[in-house]
């Protein structure tokens, strides 16, 4: 491919090739503080390409390629090339990662112990992780928490934090000094803006943490908390894992260990401040 970008995010090395310079330039700018893949060998390859040669210039449309693809993924306009790259990188992790049990969860760490927050899109995973990251927690990731089946430890995957719609303003107001990507308006997921994890999150991304609290946040409801039984946690976490089945017995061991060892709570919240207070209170009560 004409333009190449390589990066390591946590344990995963990526090589992104593109027919266009612009998405690569954005990636270089936003991932400026990140290392290259171990020994220069990426784990996953992503390609951003024009489905037809003239589509490089004429209404340029970015088609996603890579080791793993979704056959019916629609191309994105070149102005959303950064989003295309991020989506394709996530897809490689979701479908190709075999070393860790992947949970669709955000994670923050304090004193070697981690809070994992999982839920459907819109639950506030990314927003809460970004806000906690600005309040003394180490951001470990906003999309995937990687559980090592051998140790039960959670490993960081601090990619760019994907903020959507109202979360863009909430986080922008809370951490105005942070670095952000361009506002990508009108994407298939609404408005998106990427937050660059702070330097500490990148510098310490190879430090795993002990999962200590598992939260199922839900945005848009009055403040409430609920305990979950182990079987409900098991079902919700297997639904939140993209590679549980692929990992076979290692996945079963890792999953039952999380369910057995990590206290869990469902929290409803009407606004970010209420959620932060609930997280801090539950953490202090551990």
Partner 1 sequence: MAERLYRAAAADALRIVPLDDFTVIFHRPSGLTHLVTAPAPEILALLSEDVLTRNALLACLGAQFDLGDASAEALDARLGELVATGLVETA
Residues at the interface with partner 1 (CB under 8 A): 229-231, 234-235, 238, 244-245, 248-249, 252, 256, 259-260
- Between 173 and 249, whose beta carbon lies closer to partner 1? 249
At closest approach, how far in Å is the CB of 249 from partner 1?
Answer: 6
At closest approach, how far in Å is the CB of 116 from partner 1?
Answer: 19
- Between 28 and 227, whose beta carbon lies closer to partner 1? 227
- Between 227 and 273, whose beta carbon lies closer to partner 1? 227
The C-alpha atoms of residue 145 and residue 154 are separated, in whole angstroms, by 6
- Between 179 and 250, whose beta carbon lies closer to partner 1? 250
CA-nearest of 14, 13, 17 to 4 is 17
At closest approach, how far in Å is the CB of 200 from partner 1?
Answer: 37
At closest approach, how far in Å is the CB of 248 from partner 1?
Answer: 5
Please answer whether residues 268 and 224 qualify as being in contact, where contact means their C-beta atoms are separated by less than 8 angstroms: yes
- Between 208 and 251, whose beta carbon lies closer to partner 1? 251
- Between 52 and 260, whose beta carbon lies closer to partner 1? 260
Task: State the DSSP H helix or E strand holding residue 62, giving kind and residue range, or none if neither.
Answer: strand 61-66
């Amino acid at each position: 491919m004409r333009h190449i970008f390589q990066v390591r995010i946590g344990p995963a090395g990526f090589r992104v090739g593109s027919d266009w310079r612009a998405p690569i330039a954005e990636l270089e700018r936003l991932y400026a503080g990140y290392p290259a893949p171990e020994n220069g060998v990426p784990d996953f390859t992503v390609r951003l390409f024009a489905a037809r040669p003239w589509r490089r210039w004429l209404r340029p449309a970015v088609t996603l390629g890579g080791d793993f693809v979704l056959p019916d993924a629609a191309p994105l306009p070149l102005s959303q090339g950064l989003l295309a790259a991020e989506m394709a990188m996530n897809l490689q992790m979701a479908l190709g990662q075999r070393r860790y049990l992947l949970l669709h969860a955000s994670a923050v760490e304090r004193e070697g112990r981690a809070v994992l927050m999982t839920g459907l899109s819109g639950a506030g995973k990314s927003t809460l992780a970004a806000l906690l990251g600005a309040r003394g927690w180490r951001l470990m990731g906003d999309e995937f928490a990687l559980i090592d089946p051998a140790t039960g430890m959670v490993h960081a995957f601090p990619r760019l934090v994907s903020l959507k719609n109202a979360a863009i303003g909430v986080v922008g107001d809370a951490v105005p000094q942070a670095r952000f990507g361009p506002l990508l308006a009108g994407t298939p997921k609404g408005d998106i803006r990427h937050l660059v994890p702070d330097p500490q999150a990148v510098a310490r991304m190879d430090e795993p943490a002990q999962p200590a609290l598992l939260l199922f946040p839900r945005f848009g409801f009055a403040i409430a908390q609920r305990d979950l039984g182990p079987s409900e946690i098991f079902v919700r976490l297997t639904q939140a894992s993209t590679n549980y089945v692929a990992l076979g017995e290692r996945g079963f061991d890792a999953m039952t260990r999380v369910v057995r060892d990590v206290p869990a709570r469902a929290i409803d919240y009407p606004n970010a401040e209420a959620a932060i207070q609930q997280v801090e209170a539950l953490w202090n009560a551990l």
